[in-house]
Chain A
Amino acid sequence: MSFIEAKDLVHEYIMRDEEGNVEGVQVALDHLDLNVEQGQFIAVLGHNGSGKSTFAKHLNALLMPSEGTLYVGGMDVSDENLTYDIRQTAGMVFQNPDNQIIASVVQEDVGFGPENIGTPTEEIWERVEKSLRAVGMWAYREHSPNRLSGGQKQRVAIAGVMAMEPKCIILDEPTAMLDPDGRKEVLAAVHELNKTKGVTIILITHYMEEVVDADYVYVMDKGKVVMEGNPTGIFSQVETLKEHHLDVPQITMLAHELKQEGLPLRDGILTREELIQEIDRICH
């Protein structure tokens, strides 16, 4: 069994009027099938309203499936007895760091999670140190979170999830509110956790550049998986991505347009190095 296994997953938002009568049903997930292996770095793309966040909220049992099944770490998310275990297995980081930080000192914020689950004090401090070091924020442990930059706050939020020692972290547009440096910091921290700690990462993003280094990419539209593959394969299909209201990294776009001008470039160029290699090849 895969670490995450969604089969025929359906989620319907039911809208009711003031008397509680059903006014309408909106299908947010429509028989979604998706598998993630432990230790993978997965990116999920899709336009606003494609069902990405609804799916993410199922992964740690914030929402329950209307139909179908979802297993996380072998646990059925529909089983309410397992909700807390699931949340410890799959931690969540949201878009706005200001909504996720609650303590007035960085290290206390990171310690809040383990403290809540009754971790012995000594171990809390060990976890706080490990987590803050993992995201490069140990030097700021005694700072007030509200004096930090957006990227730093978001890394503290990630450390707070890390301190729960989850096997998997889901990040729902963690860089949407950050400047270029903040985006880089957060991405680097997440890749580091994936590589050195083997944490499974599910990154939901609208920035195509952030997807280039993922192991595998899922593209969602209308509550379904409509494309999947490695980044090179996904970004080779510029026109299909546009149909799903998405984009490609700027370098990929440039390569695509050069190709349309008649240059014999290969498909799926993602980085500057790859494009230069191709130009070298044409010129020599």
Chain B
Amino acid sequence: MSLILDNISHIYSRGDAYEKKALDGVSLKIEDGEFIGIIGHTGSGKSTLIQHLNGLLKATEGSIYFNGQDIYDKDYDLRDLRMQVGMVFQYPEHQLFDETVFKDVCFGPRNQGLPEKDVTLRAYEALKNVGLDEKYYDVSPFELSGGQKRRAAIAGVVAMKPQVLVLDEPTAGLDPQGRDEILDMIAENHQRYGNTVILVSHSMEDVAKYVDRIIVMDDGQVRFDGEPKVVFRHYKELEEIGLAAPQVTYLMHDLKNAGYPVSCDATTVDEAKNEIMKMLGRR
């Protein structure tokens, strides 16, 4: 069970003056249960890439296999794919529409054709999982605060229990606590259900803290693909393509350059703390 992208290219406005190759021969294998971060500067192809994962965009060249089936087969049920690969777009709260939060979250599972009882159960479970208090279930989504709206919108996708959950910058515009809460919630659900999570982010610190594997996009191609500590070893190349390493990784390099015997692999505050304490012989 996996998602395989085989040599995918995507060309926008083919044949006219604005022709642009947004993806250029991308091959990836995404295994069940992975927690992946996708990073890249604006225009690097991240959003184009994720829109291929549930068939919203069709590759100009190449094939995509989901659980062993070619999604471009003419018999393939793209509707089913979209149930399995749930997409949370940027600012998903702009898509809230129903009279109450609860009804809004029911929309997805009901569309999946589940019996009404299951729809209700799914909505409860999803709202509980995103940490939205019960007192908000019957209010209009438009009366919620920014962070609460974001949770409600994510619940709408989580309620469909997608095997793969794709989130495009789910914390943009949230304050630090809101940011941590949303990402903690996503990580907890990942632990609980073992679903595949693909997180597009502009925050190197967030990606380093949460994901197991980072895919770096640049100019429509995969530039790096690996564990955070391995990817962030290439901090100089990352800077050249408009990205960076987490602040603490730079600190470790500075320490090393100043002659301290430290490893530069730390990408989170905890890892950096442990490394520095070890160096000072206090552990």
| Chain A residues within 8 Å of B, Cβ to Cβ | 46-49, 95, 149-151, 173, 176-182, 206, 208-209, 242, 245-247, 249-251, 253-254, 257-258, 261-263, 272-273, 275-276, 279-280, 282-283
A151:B42 contact, CB within 8 angstroms = yes
- B185 adjacent to chain A (CB < 8 Å): no
Known: A149-B42, A206-B176, A272-B251. 8 other contacts (CB 8 A): A47-B176, A95-B173, A179-B41, A209-B247, A245-B178, A250-B246, A261-B282, A273-B254
- B269 adjacent to chain A (CB < 8 Å): yes
Binds A, one of B104-112, B116-124, B271-279: B271-279
**Which of B42, B204, B243 contacts A178, CB < 8 Å?**
B42
Interface centre among B42, B205, B276 (most CB of A within 10 A): B42
**Which of A95, A150, A279 contacts B255, CB < 8 Å?**
A279
On whether A181 and B276 interact (CB within 8 A), knowing A49-B146, A246-B175, the answer reads no
Chain A's nearest CB lies how many Å from the CB of B5?
23
Q: List 28 A-B contacts (CB under 8 A).
A: A47-B177, A48-B173, A95-B173, A176-B172, A176-B173, A179-B40, A179-B202, A180-B242, A181-B41, A181-B242, A181-B243, A208-B176, A209-B247, A242-B177, A247-B176, A247-B180, A251-B251, A253-B269, A258-B276, A258-B277, A262-B282, A263-B282, A272-B247, A272-B251, A279-B255, A279-B276, A283-B260, A283-B280
On whether A150 and B42 interact (CB within 8 A), knowing A254-B251, A257-B273, A275-B251, the answer reads yes
Which B residues, 136 to 189, have Cβ-Cβ distances below 8 Å to chain A? 145-147, 172-180
Q: Which residue of B lies closest to A280 (CB)?
A: B258
- B226 adjacent to chain A (CB < 8 Å): no
- B87 adjacent to chain A (CB < 8 Å): no
In the bound complex, residues from chain B placing their C-beta under 8 Å from that of A275 are 251
* Chain B contact residue count (CB 8 A cutoff): 39
In the bound complex, residues from chain B placing their C-beta under 8 Å from that of A272 are 247, 250-251, 254
In the bound complex, residues from chain A placing their C-beta under 8 Å from that of B264 are none
**Which of B174, B177, B269 contacts A254, CB < 8 Å?**
B269
**Which of B41, B172, B254, B255 contacts A149, CB < 8 Å?**
B41
A263:B202 contact, CB within 8 angstroms = no
B41:A263 contact, CB within 8 angstroms = no
In the bound complex, residues from chain B placing their C-beta under 8 Å from that of A280 are 258
B146:A261 contact, CB within 8 angstroms = no
**Contact mask for chain B residues 48-71; partner A; CB cutoff 8 A; 1 contact, 0 none:** 000000000000000000000000
Give Cα A254–Cα B250 distance, bound, in whole angstroms.
13
B178:A48 contact, CB within 8 angstroms = yes
Instruction: Tally inter-chain residue pairs, CB-CB below 8 A.
Output: 108
- B199 adjacent to chain A (CB < 8 Å): no
In the bound complex, residues from chain A placing their C-beta under 8 Å from that of B42 are 149-151, 178-179, 182
B255:A49 contact, CB within 8 angstroms = no
In the bound complex, residues from chain A placing their C-beta under 8 Å from that of B260 are 279, 283
In the bound complex, residues from chain B placing their C-beta under 8 Å from that of A257 are 269-270, 273
Chain A's nearest CB lies how many Å from the CB of B260?
7
B243:A180 contact, CB within 8 angstroms = yes
- B244 adjacent to chain A (CB < 8 Å): yes
In the bound complex, residues from chain B placing their C-beta under 8 Å from that of A253 are 269
A263:B280 contact, CB within 8 angstroms = yes
| Chain B residues within 8 Å of A, Cβ to Cβ | 40-43, 145-147, 172-180, 202, 204-205, 242-244, 246-248, 250-251, 254-255, 258, 260, 269-270, 272-273, 276-277, 280, 282
Give Cα A157–Cα B219 distance, bound, in whole angstroms.
25
In the bound complex, residues from chain B placing their C-beta under 8 Å from that of A263 are 277, 280, 282
Chain A's nearest CB lies how many Å from the CB of B236?
14
On whether A206 and B175 interact (CB within 8 A), knowing A179-B42, A179-B243, A180-B242, the answer reads yes
Give Cα A151–Cα B202 distance, bound, in whole angstroms.
13
Give Cα A251–Cα B273 distance, bound, in whole angstroms.
11
On whether A179 and B242 interact (CB within 8 A), knowing A250-B205, A254-B269, A257-B273, the answer reads yes
In the bound complex, residues from chain B placing their C-beta under 8 Å from that of A47 are 175-178
B204:A246 contact, CB within 8 angstroms = no
A250:B175 contact, CB within 8 angstroms = no
B145:A48 contact, CB within 8 angstroms = yes
On whether A282 and B280 interact (CB within 8 A), knowing A48-B146, A49-B145, A257-B269, the answer reads yes
In the bound complex, residues from chain A placing their C-beta under 8 Å from that of B248 are 250-251, 254
